Amino acid sequence: MTNHWNDIENSDCVLAMGSNPASNHPISFKYVTKAMEKGAPLISVDPRFTQTSARADIYAPLRSGTDIAFLGGMIKYILDNNLIHEKYVKAYTNASFLVNPDFKMPGENNGVFSGLVENKYDKSTWSYQTDADGVILKDPTLSDPNCVYRLLKKHYERYTPGVVSNITGTPKDKLIVVYEAYTKTGKPGKAGTIMYAMGWTQHTVGVQNIRTMSIIQLLLGNMGVAGGGVNALRGESNVQGSTDMALLFHILPGYLKTPVASWQTLEEYNRKNTPATNEPKSLNWWKNYSKYMASLLRAHYGKNVTLEEAYRYLPKREDGQDCSWLTLFDNMYKGKFSGLFAWGMNPACSGASSHKVRQALAQLDWMVNVNVYDNETGSFWREPGLDPSKIKTEVFMLPCSAFMEKEGSITNSGRWMQWRYKAVDSPGVAMPDGDIMTELFCRLKERYEKNGGPLADAITRLTWDYGVKDGAGRVRHFDPDYVAREVNGYFLEDKVIGGVLYKKGTLVPSFGLLQDDGSTSSGNWLYCNSYTEKGNMAKRRGNEDRSFIGLYSDWAWCWPLNRRIIYNGASVDPDTGMPWDKKNPVIRWDGAEWKGDVPDGVAAPGAGRPPFIMKPDGVANIFGPGLADGPFPEHYEPLECPIEENLLSPQFINPTIVRWDEVGTGTSVDARATCDPRFPFVCSTYRVSEHWQTGVLTRWAPWLAEMQPELFVEIGSELARLKGFKNGEHVMVKSVRGEVEAVAIVTDRYKPMKVAGMTVHQVGIPWHYGWVTTNMRKYVHGDKVPEVFTGGDSANLLTPFIGDPNTGIPESKAFMVNVERKGV
Partner 1 sequence: MAEKIKLYDTSKCTGCRACQLACKQWNALPAGQTYNTGTYQNPPDLQSNTWMLIRFQEMSNGNGDVKWLFRKDACMHCTDAACIKVCPSGALFRTKYGSVALDKDKCIGCKECISACPFDVPRYDPVTDKIAKCDLCFSRIDRGMEPSCVKACPTGALSFGDKDEMIARAHARVKELGGDANVYGDQFVGGTHMLYVLTEKPSVYDELPERPRVPLTVIAWKDWFKPLTLLAAGGVLAGSFIHYLTHGPKDTSGDDQAGGEGGE
Residues that bind partner 1 (CB under 8 A): 22-23, 26-27, 29-30, 32-34, 49, 51-55, 59, 688-690, 702-712, 726-729, 743-749, 751, 787-789, 791
Q: How far apart are CA 768 and CA 745, in angstroms?
A: 16
- DSSP 8-class letter at 594: E
Per the DSSP assignment, residues forming a β-bridge with 252 are 256
Please say which residue, 344 or 702, places its beta carbon nearer to partner 1: 702
95 to 98, 111, 140, 624: CA distances (angstroms): 8, 23, 8, 11
Please say which residue, 743 or 756, places its beta carbon nearer to partner 1: 743
In terms of Cα–Cα distance, which of 402, 435, 437 is closest to 420? Answer: 402
Please say which residue, 51 or 96, places its beta carbon nearer to partner 1: 51
**Shortest separation between residue 615's beta carbon and partner 1, angstroms:** 36
Please say which residue, 35 or 696, places its beta carbon nearer to partner 1: 35
**Shortest separation between residue 690's beta carbon and partner 1, angstroms:** 7
Q: Which helix (H) or strand (E) holds 311?
A: helix 307-313
**Shortest separation between residue 719's beta carbon and partner 1, angstroms:** 14
Please say which residue, 52 or 202, places its beta carbon nearer to partner 1: 52
**Whether the Cβ atoms of residue 340 and residue 368 lie closer than 8 Å to each other:** yes
**Shortest separation between residue 689's beta carbon and partner 1, angstroms:** 5
**Shortest separation between residue 55's beta carbon and partner 1, angstroms:** 6
Q: Which helix (H) or strand (E) holds 309?
A: helix 307-313
Please say which residue, 285 or 725, places its beta carbon nearer to partner 1: 725
Q: How far apart are CA 617 and CA 98, in angstroms?
A: 13
Please say which residue, 5 or 200, places its beta carbon nearer to partner 1: 5
Please say which residue, 295 or 773, places its beta carbon nearer to partner 1: 773
Query: Reduced to 3 states, what is the DSSP secondary structure of residue 305?
Result: coil
- Please give the sequence-ordered ranges of beta strands (E in DSSP) within 597-665, or none if there are none: none
Per the DSSP assignment, residues forming a β-bridge with 193 are 14
**Which string of DSSP letters, residue by residue, matches 26-95?**
TTHHHHHHHHHHTT--EEEE-SS--HHHHH-SEEE---TT-HHHHHHHHHHHHHHTT-S-HHHHHHHBGG
H-helix segments, 593-712: 702-707
Count CA atoms within 13 Å of residue 495 on its CB side.
21
Q: Which helix (H) or strand (E) holds 482?
A: helix 480-488
**Whether the Cβ atoms of residue 570 and residue 93 lie closer than 8 Å to each other:** no
Fill in the amino acid letter for 52.
Answer: T
**Shortest separation between residue 25's beta carbon and partner 1, angstroms:** 9
Please say which residue, 249 or 789, places its beta carbon nearer to partner 1: 789
**Shortest separation between residue 67's beta carbon and partner 1, angstroms:** 22
Please say which residue, 27 or 132, places its beta carbon nearer to partner 1: 27
Q: How far apart are CA 365 and CA 370, in angstroms?
A: 17
**Shortest separation between residue 53's beta carbon and partner 1, angstroms:** 7
Measured torsion, CA atoms of residues 547, 553, 554, 555, in degrees rounded to the nearest 10: 120
Q: How far apart are CA 311 and CA 319, in angstroms?
A: 17
**Shortest separation between residue 767's beta carbon and partner 1, angstroms:** 15
**Shortest separation between residue 717's beta carbon and partner 1, angstroms:** 8
Q: Is the dihedral of CA 6, 512, 580, 224 positive or negative?
A: negative
Please say which residue, 326 or 711, places its beta carbon nearer to partner 1: 711
Please say which residue, 29 or 92, places its beta carbon nearer to partner 1: 29
**Shortest separation between residue 673's beta carbon and partner 1, angstroms:** 27
Please say which residue, 191 or 688, places its beta carbon nearer to partner 1: 688
**Shortest separation between residue 8's beta carbon and partner 1, angstroms:** 12
**Shortest separation between residue 18's beta carbon and partner 1, angstroms:** 18
**Whether the Cβ atoms of residue 46 and residue 13 lie closer than 8 Å to each other:** no
Fill in the amino acid letter for 222.
Answer: N
Please say which residue, 353 or 684, places its beta carbon nearer to partner 1: 684
**Shortest separation between residue 682's beta carbon and partner 1, angstroms:** 19
- DSSP 8-class letter at 153: H
Q: How far apart are CA 543 and CA 541, in angstroms?
A: 6
**Whether the Cβ atoms of residue 8 and residue 30 lie closer than 8 Å to each other:** no
Please say which residue, 433 or 545, places its beta carbon nearer to partner 1: 545
Angle at 491 between CA 490 and CA 492, to 5 degrees: 100
- DSSP 8-class letter at 243: H
**Shortest separation between residue 16's beta carbon and partner 1, angstroms:** 11
Count CA atoms within 13 Å of residue 427 on its CB side.
7
Fill in the amino acid letter for 693.
Answer: Q
Fill in the amino acid letter for 724.
Answer: G
Which three-class secondary structure string do you get for 160-214? CHHHHHHHHCCCHHHHHHHHHHHHHHHCCCCCEEEEECHHHHCCCCHHHHHHHHH
Please say which residue, 26 or 101, places its beta carbon nearer to partner 1: 26
**Shortest separation between residue 349's beta carbon and partner 1, angstroms:** 18
**Shortest separation between residue 749's beta carbon and partner 1, angstroms:** 6
Please say which residue, 437 or 701, places its beta carbon nearer to partner 1: 701
Query: Reduced to 3 states, what is the DSSP secondary structure of residue 734?
Result: strand
**Shortest separation between residue 789's beta carbon and partner 1, angstroms:** 7
Task: List Cβ neighbours of 130 (8 Å cut-off, separation of 6 or more).
Answer: 136, 137, 278
Which three-class secondary structure string do you get for 747-766? ECCCCCEEECCEEECEEEEE
Please say which residue, 32 or 340, places its beta carbon nearer to partner 1: 32
- DSSP 8-class letter at 516: S
